[in-house]
Amino acid sequence: MNALPLATRNPEVCFFEAGLEGRYLLHQPEFRGPKTLLVLTLHGYGSNPEAMLRLSVPVVGAEHVVAAIQAPNQFYLGAGPSASGEIGYNWGTRVHGESNIRTHHRIVRQVRAELEHRFAIPARRTVLMGFSQPVGLNYRFIGTHPEDAGAVLGICGGVPKDWNEDKYHQFRTPVMHIARSEDEFFPAAVTEGFPARLRRHAGDVTFHQIEGGHRFPSKARGLVQPWLERVFGL
């Protein structure tokens, strides 16, 4: 075979932006008042907003507005002739990390602004919540836009590798991180160091290491509710 021309072996990399159609599921309480919070909750890799809404509402409380945001990338779960055709969603890969971070930030800011306008719940009464993959993205978000949320709740996720860099702001926004002792993706030996790492930029960090593997903890409400009461004066 003939060798590829030099221009083909070293193609120019070009970028463009196209409109992104997003989706989120919304839980609305029967009554809203001055203590009502807005919770933006983000699902893990391969999951969906339906599952995340079902898990999140019992933890934060049905008296709050909860928006489960769908990740922007879709793919088929499973492969081969026996695959069910079920769709999962994710927040991106390391290969295009910077682009994925910008997309995540844009999605969170747009949804938060839209729901603030709709329900008159300001950023200072907004909780940014995530399970697994988006946890690190959420920390990057609050380190970049500390005025855009009143609290951050991370469950079974990681702290960004570049968290020690000065590109992130120092902030007082309260952070709670819930890790699990048998997490196969984030071992206890690693997560035990998360509180100190988070305090590099976060001034108010609450950390819990509870039993179990990489699953959304069904008993998280007992940890989250007292924290929300302290942070927001509920």
Report the CATH number that the domain containing residue 202 is assigned in CATH. Answer: 3.40.50.1820
Query: What is the C-alpha separation between 106 and 111, in angstroms, rounded?
Result: 9
Which amino acid belongs to residue 196? Answer: A
Query: Of the given ranges (71-75, 163-167, 193-197), which has the lowest mean pLDDT?
Result: 71-75
**Does the pLDDT value for residue 207 go beyond 90?**
yes
Q: Are strands 151-155 and 175-180 parallel, antiparallel or unpaired?
A: parallel
**Can you give the residue range of the structural domain that contains 50?**
23-232
221 assigned to some structural domain = yes
150 assigned to some structural domain = yes
14 assigned to some structural domain = no
pLDDT score, position 2: 57
3 assigned to some structural domain = no
Query: What is the C-alpha separation between 42 and 44, in angstroms, rounded?
Result: 7
For residue 86, what pLDDT band results from cuts at 50, 70 and 90? confident
pTM of the model: 0.91
The chain-wide mean pLDDT, for the chain, equals 92
8 assigned to some structural domain = no
Q: Using an 8 Å Cβ cutoff, are 217 and 155 in contact?
A: yes
97 assigned to some structural domain = yes
**Does the pLDDT value for residue 118 go beyond 90?**
yes
Domains identified in the chain, total number: 1
**Does the pLDDT value for residue 84 go beyond 80?**
no
65 assigned to some structural domain = yes
Q: Kindly state the average pLDDT of the residues 34-43.
A: 97
How crowded is residue 54: how many other Cβ atoms within 10 Å of its Cβ? 13
Query: What is the C-alpha separation between 221 and 214, in angstroms, rounded?
Result: 17
The two tokens of residue 106 are 């844009």
123 assigned to some structural domain = yes
